[in-house]
């Protein structure tokens, strides 16, 4: 088949191990002709370009800035994505007839692009639902259902419904996501919705003690403490004020050290906390190159996941997979609607509490410092191989076509 894959997820190269690149490579390995159509934000300074890499045809389309920018700029850029993608497809891929179009959210505004390809080529469509917008923005107060923000909400909610209607199948990250979509979109039939989880090729990234110590020394991290790492996006969905509150409760903990690596709209809050409190067992670092970050995770002892307690939609952070491949047990503090905590606890490779009371976090830190994590690492690998490989994700998608 000729397959178009639409995403605005940041992709630096096809060979990097990510939740989208791994699927692209697996589809290519199975003999399909794959065309990645991705976004390249204006701040990169790069123009629209078409190239081939690792057997994948790659159209990288220049769009406006949608990350690390103000809400107005983000909103305008989001609204122009559809027209820019359609323009790019017409210019560079006018002679390619697609059999299948796969696309991910965000953004929810891909419906006209999908509609264009389906109408032009008679293609089938598969949505990888990674983001339930605009409800997630309602949950954390970015949008509301009344006033001017209410008008914006209704616009995007209409886009969401159109995208679901255009999708022949909808792959959700977890059972809770499937339940949410069906409950809140009753026009969507259950036979079109299924679990197609975040996935990657499994690579054992774990390190032995000597290797881990070399990396700890490189980054100025203690050798004699349990290191709890939080890495990735530092934005409103992660509930950064609660993360700070939790770390504050650990200032007298001589067994644990807390490392945060990343960037995002809430980074300055963490920087201010670091400079003001000067907490000896806390360190903040800006985002590292992916390979360096993955190795740093493996040099730590516990990976942390935080989600804002206000969420009514079931987020399922992909950083879980990075922790699992690094062989690092997971401590999650989330809202009660996501089932990522259930995955971690039922799988036997970590701990979960609601992101409401920092005292609950403190109890889990104490438990993580004393529990034997060797068995957890074995369970983690087994769980990943049974549920989260790119091979399984492609099996789920391709069985329909």
Whether residue 36 is found in the same domain as residue 158 = yes
Whether residue 158 is predicted with pLDDT greater than 80 in this model: the reply is: yes
Whether residue 286 is found in the same domain as residue 370 = yes
Q: What percent of the chain has pLDDT over 90?
A: 74
Rounded average pLDDT over 117-123: 96
More confident residue, 65 or 197: 197
- Assess if residue 391 is contained within a domain: no
Final residue of a structural domain among 167, 196, 225: 196
- Assess if residue 7 is contained within a domain: yes
What residue numbers bound the domain in which 180 lies?
Answer: 2-196
Specify the 3-state DSSP secondary structure of 194.
strand
- φ, ψ dihedrals at 175, nearest 5°: -60, -40
Rounded average pLDDT over 35-60: 88
Q: Where residue 292 falls among pLDDT bands split at 50, 70, 90?
A: confident
Whether residue 31 is predicted with pLDDT greater than 90 in this model: the reply is: yes
Whether residue 382 is found in the same domain as residue 338 = yes
For 238-271, the pLDDT digits (tens) are 889 999 999 999 999 999 999 999 888 889 999 9
Mode of pairing for the β-strands spanning 49-53 and 56-63: antiparallel
Please say whether the beta carbons of 158 and 187 come within 8 A.
Answer: no
- Assess if residue 178 is contained within a domain: yes
Q: Where residue 151 falls among pLDDT bands split at 50, 70, 90?
A: very high
For 73-94, the pLDDT digits (tens) are 777 777 788 899 999 999 999 9
Whether residue 21 is found in the same domain as residue 124 = yes
- Residue 196 DSSP one-character state: -
For 199-224, the pLDDT digits (tens) are 999 999 999 999 999 999 999 999 99
- Please work out, in degrees rounded to the nearest 5, the angle formed at the alpha carbon of residue 46 by the alpha carbons of 43 and 51: 140
- pLDDT of res. 374: 83
Q: Where are the beta strands (DSSP E) in 161-269?
A: 169-172, 193-195, 226-233, 256-263
Whether residue 266 is found in the same domain as residue 312 = yes
- pLDDT of res. 373: 84
Specify the 3-state DSSP secondary structure of 261.
strand
Q: Where residue 119 falls among pLDDT bands split at 50, 70, 90?
A: very high
- pLDDT of res. 291: 82
Rounded average pLDDT over 171-190: 97
CA distance 349 to 321: 12
Whether residue 216 is found in the same domain as residue 271 = yes
The closest of 134, 130, 133 to 19, measured between CA atoms, is 130
- Write down the number of H helices and E strands in the chain: 15, 14
- Assess if residue 399 is contained within a domain: no
Q: Where residue 142 falls among pLDDT bands split at 50, 70, 90?
A: confident
Taking CA atoms, 357 is separated from 32, 60, 69, 117, 366, in Å, by 49, 44, 31, 48, 15
CATH number for the domain spanning 244: value is 3.40.50.2000
- Identify whether 106 is preceded by a cis peptide bond (ω within 30 of 0): yes
Rounded average pLDDT over 325-341: 96
Final residue of a structural domain among 175, 196, 217: 196
Q: Where residue 358 falls among pLDDT bands split at 50, 70, 90?
A: very high
Please say whether the beta carbons of 34 and 27 come within 8 A.
Answer: yes
- pLDDT of res. 302: 96
Whether residue 182 is found in the same domain as residue 132 = yes
Q: Where residue 127 falls among pLDDT bands split at 50, 70, 90?
A: very high
CA distance 30 to 8: 24
CA distance 337 to 180: 9
Whether residue 347 is found in the same domain as residue 251 = yes
> DSSP secondary structure string, 71-116?
HHHHHHHHHHHHHHHHHHHHHHSTT---SEEEEEES-STTHHHHHH
- pLDDT of res. 232: 84
Sheet containing strand 256-263, strands side by side: 282-285, 256-263, 226-233, 302-306, 330-334, 350-354
The closest of 17, 20, 24 to 9, measured between CA atoms, is 20
Whether residue 134 is found in the same domain as residue 213 = no
- pLDDT of res. 337: 96
Q: What percent of the chain has pLDDT over 70?
A: 99
Whether residue 174 is found in the same domain as residue 216 = no
Whether residue 158 is found in the same domain as residue 41 = yes
- pLDDT of res. 349: 96
- pLDDT of res. 107: 81
- Assess if residue 98 is contained within a domain: yes
Final residue of a structural domain among 141, 164, 196: 196
Rounded average pLDDT over 52-72: 82
Whether residue 254 is found in the same domain as residue 121 = no
When divided into structural domains, the chain yields a total of: 2
Please say whether the beta carbons of 398 and 102 come within 8 A.
Answer: no
- pLDDT of res. 181: 97
To the nearest whole number, what is the mean pLDDT of the chain? 92
């Amino acid at each position: 088949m000729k397959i178009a894959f639409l995403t605005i997820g940041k992709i630096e190269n096809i060979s990097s191990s990510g939740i989208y690149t791994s699927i692209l490579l697996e589809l290519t390995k199975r003999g399909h002709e794959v065309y990645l159509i991705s976004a390249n934000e204006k701040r990169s300074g790069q123009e629209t370009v078409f190239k081939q890499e690792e057997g994948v045809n790659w159209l990288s389309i220049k769009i406006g800035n949608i990350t690390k920018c103000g809400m107005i700029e983000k909103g305008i850029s989001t609204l122009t994505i559809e027209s820019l993608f359609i323009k790019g497809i017409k210019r560079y891929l006018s002679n390619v007839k697609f059999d299948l179009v796969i696309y991910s959210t965000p953004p929810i505004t891909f419906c006209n692009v999908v509609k264009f390809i389906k109408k032009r080529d008679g293609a089938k469509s598969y949505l990888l639902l990674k983001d339930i917008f605009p409800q997630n923005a309602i949950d954390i107060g970015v949008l509301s259902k009344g006033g001017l923000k209410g008008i914006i909400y209704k616009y995007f909610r209409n886009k969401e419904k159109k995208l679901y209607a255009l999708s022949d199948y909808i792959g959700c990250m977890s059972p809770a996501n499937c339940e949410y979509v069906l409950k809140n979109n009753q026009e969507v039939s259950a036979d079109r919705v299924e679990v197609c989880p975040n996935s990657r090729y499994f690579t054992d990234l774990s390190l032995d003690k000597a290797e881990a110590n070399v990396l700890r020394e490189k980054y100025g991290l203690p050798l004699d403490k349990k290191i709890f790492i939080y890495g990735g996006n530092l934005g409103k969905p992660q509930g950064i004020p609660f993360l700070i509150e939790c770390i504050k409760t650990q200032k007298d903990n001589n067994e644990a050290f807390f490392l945060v690596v990343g960037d995002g709209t809430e980074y300055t809050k963490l920087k201010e906390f670091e400079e003001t409190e000067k907490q000896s067992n806390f360190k903040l670092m800006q985002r590292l190159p992916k390979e360096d970050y993955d190795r740093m995770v493996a040099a730590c002892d516990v990976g942390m996941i935080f989600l804002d307690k206000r969420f009514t939609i079931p987020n399922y952070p992909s950083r879980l997979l990075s922790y699992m491949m690094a062989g690092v047990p997971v401590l999650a503090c989330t809202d009660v609607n996501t089932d990522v905590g259930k995955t971690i606890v039922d799988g036997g490779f970590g701990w979960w509490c609601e992101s409401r009371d920092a005292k609950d976090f403190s109890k889990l830190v104490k438990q993580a410092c004393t529990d034997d994590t060797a068995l957890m690492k074995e369970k983690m690998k087994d769980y990943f191989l049974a549920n989260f490989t790119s091979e399984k994700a492609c099996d789920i998608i391709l069985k329909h076509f």
